[in-house]
Amino acid sequence: MKIAYLDTVGGISGDMTLGAFVGAGMPFDELVKRLGGLRLKGFELTASHVERSGIVATKIDVIVTEDQHHHRHLKDICAIIGESDLPESVGTKSIAIFEVLAEAEAHVHKSTPEKVHFHEVGAVDSIVDIVGTAICLDHFGIQEVYSSPVKLGSGGFIDTQHGRMPIPTPATVEILKNYPTVLTDIRSELTTPTGAAIIRTLSKGTLAMERLRVSSIGYGAGTREIPEVPNLLRVMIGELEPGYGTDELVTVETNIDDMNPEIYPYVIERLLEAGAHDAFVIPVLMKKGRPGALLSVLTERGKLDAVLQILFRETTTLGVRIQPVERRKISRSTRTVSTSFGMVKVKVIQRESGEILVPEFEECKRIAREKGLPLIEVYKKIEKEVG
């Protein structure tokens, strides 16, 4: 799945988002051309390279070439976007972001989204920033967006057309309710309402231990140098691999051709008791044409010594091969459920299609012995009841 990960190194704003995507490979000329589909007059778009804390980033500026004194309501912005030549998906995302902004402003000012005057948010540059972001997502074929916890400044103030506002502004805080944030002691507006709305509308959430294969990276620059932090937004575009669990294990193997095969079941039992994840034997044809067995053990490195002690004490081997391996696994757990046999433990397997419950073999064996029933009958009955 192709995703965009928005890393709010120094917060996020609309122009920082555009700069990051251009830095990641969005052709600037194509962005300008596609923004022309808005049929919105009175602005020019420029791009330049600047340094923030020694990191070269892309700075996008929207230069307003005509006076924009009138305020816009949500319906006015929706009309501008709806009457454009932009793809439907671009228009839908753009309008959704403005709706989030309108709802936040309405809540702060005790009004309704329809009555809100957007002021800065409805200005030409914010329309360009938001629609431009949706255009970039369309260009890269982004299926999902994620972000880091959003960094916020605090303790300072910013002058707006509503008057002097605390940092973070009420609209920004409202938009990011219930979304992971980091409240810093930096007295600057790291995250603007537009930036907050972009993340809140588009993002599926934050990433933790997911495996991301990054294909391109871009840095978008904020307007000012901030001493405490690089004033940057970093976007990483790549493929998000399926959410499998990952283990770093070791495989221990040895070839044996001079041991009584009756001993293998006992050795495997001892290995599993010692904490090995798996142990098995494969028939092999060894040197000089002698039949033998490949004994293979999968274990955690922390339990390697215990495994080696069993192999050297309980088998005739004189040496083993040890190799690190990476294991991928589907999330699984156990749960106790009610069945016609009473409360029974089952395995819970998490697949993309949903949760699957599978009977535990040992539980089925116990019930079969207690009830005097065929094991396969018990297994099938529980499988049917929990499936």
pLDDT digits (tens, 9 = 90+) for 266-290: 999 999 999 999 999 999 999 888 8
* Residue 6 predicted with pLDDT over 90: yes
Q: How confident is the model over 50-59, as a mean pLDDT?
A: 94
Burial class (CB in 10 A: 0-12, 13-18, 19+), 202: buried
Residue 105, amino acid: E
Helices (H), the chain: 14-23, 28-35, 74-82, 88-108, 124-140, 170-175, 193-202, 264-273, 304-314, 361-371, 375-386
Query: 346-367, pLDDT tens digit by residue?
Result: 888 877 667 788 999 999 999 9
Assigned CATH topology for domain 245-329:
Alpha-Beta Plaits (3.30.70)
The token pair at 340 is 């016609």
- Joined tokens for residue 300: 């955690």
Q: Read off the pLDDT of residues 230-239 as tens digits, 9 standing for 90 and up.
A: 999 999 999 9
| The pLDDT value given to residue 328 | 78
Region of 299 on the Ramachandran plot (φ > 0 left; ψ -120 to 50 alpha; else beta): beta
Strand 203-206 to strand 144-147: parallel, antiparallel, or no bridges (unpaired)? parallel
355 beta partners: 350
Task: Report helix, strand or coil for 211.
Answer: coil
**53 within 8 A of 221, measured Cβ to Cβ:** no
Q: Is the confidence at residue 333, as pLDDT, over 60?
A: yes
Note the pLDDT of residue 178: 83
Residue 69 reports pLDDT greater than 60: no
Instruction: Count CB atoms within 10 A of the CB of residue 59.
Output: 22
Q: What is the pLDDT of residue 156?
A: 82
Mean pLDDT for 237-242 is: 84
Q: What is the mean pLDDT of the chain?
A: 90
Q: What is the pLDDT of residue 51?
A: 93
- The average pLDDT across 208-231 equals 89
Q: Can you give the residue ranges of every domain in the chain? A: 2-240, 245-329, 332-386
* pLDDT, tens digit (0-9, with 9 covering 90-100), for 22-54: 999 999 999 999 999 988 887 899 999 999 999
CB 58 within 8 A of CB 49: yes
- Look up the pTM and report it: 0.66
pLDDT of residue 121: 47
Share of the chain above pLDDT 90, in %: 63
| DSSP, res 262 | G
Amino acid at the residue 171: A
Least confident of 38-42, 89-93, 198-202, 366-370: 38-42
For position 251, what pLDDT does the model report?
97
Structure tokens at 215: 């294909």
